[in-house]
Amino acid sequence: MWFDLTLEARDGSRHPARYNPHTSEAEGLALPVKPGTFASVPRVAKDQPLGKSRAPRVLKIQLGLSCNYACSYCSQAFQIADATVSKLADVEHFLTELDGWITEAPEKIELWGGEPFLYWAKIKRLIPALSERFPGAQFLVITNGSLLDTEKLKFIAQYDICVGISHDGPGQHLRGPDPLDHPEKSRWIKALLAERPGKTSFNAVLTRDHHDLQALKAWFAEKAGPDVPVGLEGVVNVYDAATAIGTGRFEPAKLNSLTWSIFEALVEDPNAFGLGERVYEFYKSITRRRPIEALGQKCGMDREDTIAVDLRGNVMTCQNTGAKGAHKIGHVADFDAIALDTATHFAHRKECMSCPVVQLCKGSCMFLEGDFFKQSCANEFAFNMGIMMAAVWHLTGMVVVGVKTQAGQMSMEAPDASTARVPSL
């Protein structure tokens, strides 16, 4: 499926280019072509469920969905009642049961909440045991950063744990109290960032009223220092009605300003907020002609080698869901019966199969449906279009001002006052 792009040079002249996200062919984008070999990935659907591998590359352990925060857009809020509650003793059973089903060491072990550090006693028992069994595995914890202290910092260093601190900078009030306003909490966060460069970062979610990346950068520079690593968790997805009418609902003008904010940030700094990786992946997809059939979901939870389990051995759609409801997809004790039948690969969604940014977005959340999916898709489209525009700009020095889709011509006009900020090549 080809999309006609209109590119605008600084002198105002317009030039055509073409891009096909199904075959990753491009015309008018000067990239070398060296086709790679790609296997097709299975495309999960409710009536075409997928199992899980006993040799997971990524093992996600959900400790529970309890949290000391109540972020306005929290993707887990609608699942809290469905989460199992476990005891410290369940950790021992979990570890014993693990030996019964896992056949190879995972590359990565992630510990998830809720707020994971609310489950500190369990973490202290789990990680040393897992580290002994799987010495090569990399540990990862995503936290709201409000519960750190000396003991946790020592532990994090001892077990070489990567830590992502979720923080929205100027939009933090949408999440809860700002730990950086608390002298002691702020000290722990800054110590962790200083002691573990490359293994700790802030991660922000972009929302309706807080998606200006210049403002985000300036905020962190002032509050935490100019070189502090800030990545993006991404743009907000919509999981409940309050988010759908609240901070997850971008009107068209806000979607446009989101696109331009991403674009401008990446023009100024090709690796702004760590997004350079995404630009590079986009180039590589074209160079290697990555076909759409080789693309799984962005979150990776449709992969057989990526599994989310709770401490009772339940297997869920992903770490953000609870095992007492529809998102329980099996149990490790009956491993071969695990069936991911709660998700829809983007290949089964007609909007994704006619989307110019599908190679970047990879289908948004695979279990969302209806209006929540629709709004999340709109947000993801605006976010990923900004990345694609920046990728094209760095190749051609020109701005994508139009994309012709099946639905018609889409204009990417700059919001007022934005173009002035786009520097020349």
Q: Which is nearer to ligand SAM, 115 or 310 (CB)?
A: 115
| Segment 129 to 158, residues that bind ligand SF4, using CB under 6 A | 144
250 touching ligand SAM, by CB under 6 A? no
- Share in percent of the chain as helix, strand, coil (round to 5): 40, 20, 40
Residue 113 within binding range of ligand SAM, rule CB under 6 A: yes
Tell which positions 321-350 bind ligand SF4, by CB under 6 A. 346
Buried b (16+ CB within 10 A) or exposed e, 10-38: eeeeeeebebbbeebebebbebeeeeeee
238 binds ligand SF4 (CB under 6 A): no
Is the Cβ of residue 6 or residue 375 nearer to ligand SAM in the bound state? 375
Look at residue 90 and give its three-state secondary structure.
helix
Return the one option of ligand SAM, ligand SF4, none that residue 234 interacts with (CB less than 5 to 8 A, by type): ligand SAM
Tokens representing residue 107 in the block = 């590359």
Look at residues 337, 320, 327, 299 and name the one whose alpha carbon lies nearest to residue 52: 337
Identify which of residues 217 and 298 has a Cβ nearer to ligand SF4 in the complex. 298
Is the Cβ of residue 74 or residue 130 nearer to ligand SF4 in the bound state?
74
- Nearest-5° Cα angle at 412, 390 to 169: 60
Interatomic CA distance for residues 217 and 209, integer angstroms: 15
Binding-site partner at residue 236 among ligand SAM, ligand SF4, none, CB < 5 to 8 Å by type: ligand SAM
Closest CA to 389 of 360, 365, 417: 360
* Alpha carbons within 13 A on the beta-carbon side of 372: 15
- Provide, rounded to whole angstroms, the least separation between the CB of residue 202 and ligand SAM: 10
- Among 377, 388, 389, 395, the residue binding ligand SF4 under the rule CB under 6 A is 377
Partners of residue 405 on adjacent β-strands: 408
CB of 10 to ligand SF4, least distance (A): 29
Q: Which is nearer to ligand SF4, 56 or 145 (CB)?
A: 145
Are 382 and 259 a contacting pair, CB within 8 Å?
yes
Please choose, from the candidates 64, 69, 116, the residue with its C-alpha nearest in 3D space to the C-alpha of residue 87.
64
Q: CB of residue 130 vs ligand SF4: minimum separation in angstroms? A: 22
Strand partners, 27: 18
Q: Which is nearer to ligand SF4, 332 or 343 (CB)?
A: 343
Binding-site ranges for ligand SF4 (CB under 6 A): 67, 69-71, 74, 76, 113-115, 144, 166, 175, 346, 351-352, 355, 357-358, 361, 363-364, 377, 380-381, 384
Binding-site ranges for ligand SAM (CB under 6 A): 67, 73-76, 113-115, 142-144, 166, 203, 205, 233-234, 236-237, 239, 320
